[in-house]
Structure 1
Amino acid sequence: MNWTDERVETLKKLWAEGLSASQIAAQLGGVSRNAVIGKVHRLKLSSRGRAASPRTRQKKAPQATTNAPSTARRPRNTRPVTATIGATALQAQFEEEPVARTYLRPVSDVVVPISRKLSLVQLTEVTCKWPNGDPLSEEFSFCGNEAGESGPYCNYHSRIAYQPVSERRRAR
């Protein structure tokens, strides 16, 4: 898409009228919103008019309260505006300290198997491939117990490696 002089003038006119980049892209046709924004940036068209000028709200000084009832009425199409000072969410005060909860898995039916301490070349399809120790040390070995057809680990190491989703979510 080439920016012709005519299209650039149309872009400038629509931008000055206060149209958004999406609206300008739709009117020009064959150009994306990002292309319009890029062209506006390259042309340095920073000042622009407003399509519909928003109401400017002026802050009023706080008035002293009187005991006399107010007889002045607000116009129907205006509403009171509440003002906050600062970040009030960060100023919240809590009376109780948060309690850290730890969830422990039940220890029933846990039997730690005695490792056969096999080396890498001694592993077969039916031996547990759970690593024991540091791979860079001389004492490094694998569990070597019978893994069966359920996976690469024995029953004990399978429980460690494959935890149910609910327990993992609870641990976070």
Structure 2
Amino acid sequence: MEWTEDAIATLRQLWAEGLSTAEIGRRMGISKNAVVGKAHRLNLAARPSPIRRTPGVAPAPRPPRRAARPAMPRPSPMMAGAVVAARPPAERPAAPVVAMRPSPPLRLGNSACCWPIGDPGTPGFRFCGAQALLGKPYCAEHASVAYVRVKDRREDAA
């Protein structure tokens, strides 16, 4: 909207009458937000909040904060050059190997495992083709490899 002198005068008059921003917008044919923005730019007197708060009702108290973890002690000068052995990565049990007949890419059905086997650039490239789990694209064996919890990934990376 282009704010002409007449529109600004109308806004000031309706604002002084105490009409709501929504009502001013309806009367002027503009949005409530346009009224609020122009009133702010004209530095018109602020209005009290239309949200009615019941007197005597205090907001719920916040729960107490947890105590901060103690800081790690600094290494002593004697320990500064010491070499600390890293933890070995957690051993994950190997997934059971199931005898399967690989399927070429065009013969996969809706319930077949889509786990790729081999190099896609070679003629021997296939997909697992075993019975897929309900709602998953992989069989039980390959789903156990594909879907690893975030916690397990972090342990392996450490």
TM range (shorter): 0.3 to 0.5
